[in-house]
Structure 1
Amino acid sequence: MLYATIEDYQSLSIANPKIENDYLPNYLEMASDDIDRLTYGRIKSIKLTEFQKEKIKKATILQADYLFQFGDMFDIPIDSFNAGNTSVNLKDMTINGVHTTLKVKNYVDETGLTCTSIYGW
């Protein structure tokens, strides 16, 4: 199940850079799967409010962009390296096995679907 459509992706200004239309459905599907993992699969089991739908849509679009830009780097076995006076750190967040960004996490957190409290879910 896709949480953002091609039209959503093209119309929302948060998407930068643009993924080509030929590849977009695959990246939106991978991003939707990641959002499912970040929300512990709860999206499929409840009726979302309009507020939640909008936040999930934005998170999906940002996650698709993140996967497009950096997805290949997740499979390399290093997270930093040094060359002379130059140091590079590959920084991201990993939550529930999902590589993502703080911005995506914040959008998903705003929905209330990431709560792991015994009283929340």
Structure 2
Amino acid sequence: MIYATSQELSEELLELASSKVDELTFNRIVEIGFDNLSDFQKDKVIKATLAQAQHYEDYGTDVASLSGFNVSGLSMSFKDNGPVPTGVSPVAYSHLTQSGLMYRGWF
């Protein structure tokens, strides 16, 4: 299920972003149903999906294995994003953290 729409981003990127949101939330949205989320959670999921799709648009969809590069003696390495998994938009991660859907403990 695609959680957001955008005139600027392709449906394919939105589908990939929605899948990443499902992965990060342990498929809780699939289990609960998007329509059964609170309005606050829906807003955060939509914003996270759009942020992740934009991240894919800007950086590509296969950045998980890229930690740096070297071209003609110029070396570039990327910093550790802390708790944010590689390939995930820090903005999307923040929205999902606020939603409570990434909580790993007991409810």
| Offset from partner CA, 1:62-105 (integer Å, 9 cap, x none) | 10011111125526x54123565x542235542xxx72022111
Residue 35 of structure 2 is aligned to residue 49 of structure 1: no
Superposition deviation, residue 107 in structure 1: 0.2
2:104 corresponding residue in structure 1 = 116
1:74 corresponding residue in structure 2 = 63
Do the aligned residues in 1 keep the contact of 2:62 with 2:87 (CA within 8 Å)? Answer: no
- What are the within-5 Å matches in structure 2 for residues 1-121 of structure 1? 1-5=1-5, 9-10=6-7, 18-19=8-9, 24-46=10-32, 47-72=36-61, 74=63, 78-82=66-70, 84=73, 86-91=74-79, 93-94=84-85, 99-117=87-105, 119-120=106-107
Query: With structure 1 as the length reference, what TM-score do the two structures score?
Result: 0.70
Runs of 4 or more consecutive aligned structure 1 residues displaced over 6 Å after TM superposition: none
Query: With structure 2 as the length reference, what TM-score do the two structures score?
Result: 0.78
Bigger strand fraction: 1
| Offset from partner CA, 1:1-52 (integer Å, 9 cap, x none) | 01002xxx34xxxxxxx43xxxx11010000000000000000222200110
Aligned residues: 100
Gaps of 5+ in 2: none
